[in-house]
Structure 1
């Protein structure tokens, strides 16, 4: 319930802010409501704007929604080892030291988030700490540090912004065309019917276009996982990375929110591989073995 409440409150606040930005932009640019120019600005503000705001808030959202325990001062040998391992890997990867955190979860998982390569966070689950040995944990940490070093959070946000903008513009442009063609003769009833047609068609098209766009985003996400696996192998050792992935075969289903699960070592299941954020473990292991 806490995650849902935080998600709703945050998204309402973001929508209000973006609404104000849209009003100011269209006013300054002198763009009239209902024009193609207005639609382009609207799609850009809510498509790109939403993704970029989410990126900037990603660390804060992760800490609040998952009750992360950030390790500011290590309390025991395990926490000290985690911080030192990430620090060593970050230095070799050429990035600023990420924050390191632990969260409670039965699954063996970890994720990286943050608005940039030099402002990031790496978190691991208690299930991973108790379910893997140090070599395997080191490989998982290296995988997450590689996500940060590769700039995956920024790239994913930009890609999501592009597809969101396309979905919003295309759906509303087509819906506007359809509603104008099917508008009634009577002015009052025609306007009401035209509005309802626009609303229904735009909602349906946003869902359909959104599903198609997700296939593109998920494809990139899977390719990114292969690169992070290779980065993890380079930082921790190929045999350790393979061993960590082998261990994940007996993992629990990820309980992380979708926006963070995409950057985890282990993803969620789906009806089709086209909708997976992570490639099947068998393919990831085979890729490392062939490398």
Structure 2
């Protein structure tokens, strides 16, 4: 429950901040002109809201992730297992040519891990206690390689750019179509936007947002194949295959919040393939075997 509240409050705070920015800069004034919509002004406002929200979320991603799952960053290893985790991530980061990520462990019964952060040199790799308890070190090494590959590939930034662009067009087209539909229904082309307009815009944003999510999930699935290949390169192909096969038995519900589930190694989340953030594990294993 705490994770849901934190997620909702964070998103509300981001939207409130962007709304204040739009109001203070007067961008919203330029979205309307006499007799119609100022498309250029509306596009600028949509970009501020869409791209701004995505990049603020990216900048806060490590902070949100740590507090959402209660991850404890390893600063001084308390035991041999933590020392091994740090050494493994450090070696893989050097191989991948990125800065040393923060390494954290969080309490979670499922086998999972995730990477997040604003850049290749400012990132976090976190693993669940369930993964450490259920996998041998060869498999954990492959999982770490998978997450380090996400960072090296710049997946967090690319995902943010895609999400930001899509958010921009969702906001833009929802308002353009909302205005057209509202005026067609009311028959008042010169009238101001009323309650019906805002209801239409909200409905359109939900519908267009769903279509946009299909594109985001497609990219998420594609980058998982690429991260698997990176994990195979850093740790060994057979280790990566073994880790994925072990993950196939991961039936526990993910404790990761929705905001970072797509960054985990596990979790095919979705009721249909188009809504999955991860490809089915048999397909990922088949891709690795085919590449060999």
TM-score, normalised via structure 2 length: 0.93
The correspondence for 1:101, drawn from 100, 104, 107, is: 104
Distance in 2, matches of 1:51 and 1:268, equals 23
In the other structure, the counterpart of 1:232 is 231
The correspondence for 2:139, drawn from 133, 136, 142, is: 136
2:259 is aligned with 1:259: yes
More divergent stretch after superposition (227-236 vs 41-50) = 41-50
2:145 is aligned with 1:146: no
In the other structure, the counterpart of 1:287 is 287
2:37 is aligned with 1:38: no
Which string of whole-angstrom CA distances, capped at 9 and with x for unpartnered residues, describes residues 186-243 of structure 1? x9xx75xx51321222122111111111111111111100000000000000000000
TM-score, normalised via structure 1 length: 0.93
Question: Are the equivalent residues in 2 in contact too, given 1:22–1:41 (CA < 8 A)?
Answer: no
Residues 232-251 of structure 1 correspond to what in structure 2 (within 5 A)?
A: 232-251=231-250
CA displacement at 1:32 relative to structure 2: 5.5
Question: Are the equivalent residues in 2 in contact too, given 1:261–1:268 (CA < 8 A)?
Answer: no
Question: Are the equivalent residues in 2 in contact too, given 1:26–1:38 (CA < 8 A)?
Answer: no
SS in 1 for 2:109: coil
Question: Are the equivalent residues in 2 in contact too, given 1:242–1:285 (CA < 8 A)?
Answer: yes
Distance in 1, matches of 2:203 and 2:6, equals 27
Structure 2 portions without partners, runs of 5+: none
Structure 1 portions without partners, runs of 5+: none
The correspondence for 2:50, drawn from 36, 47, 68, is: 47
CA displacement at 1:12 relative to structure 2: 2.5
Residues 52-201 of structure 1 correspond to what in structure 2 (within 5 A)?
A: 52-183=55-186, 195-201=194-200
CA displacement at 1:96 relative to structure 2: 0.2
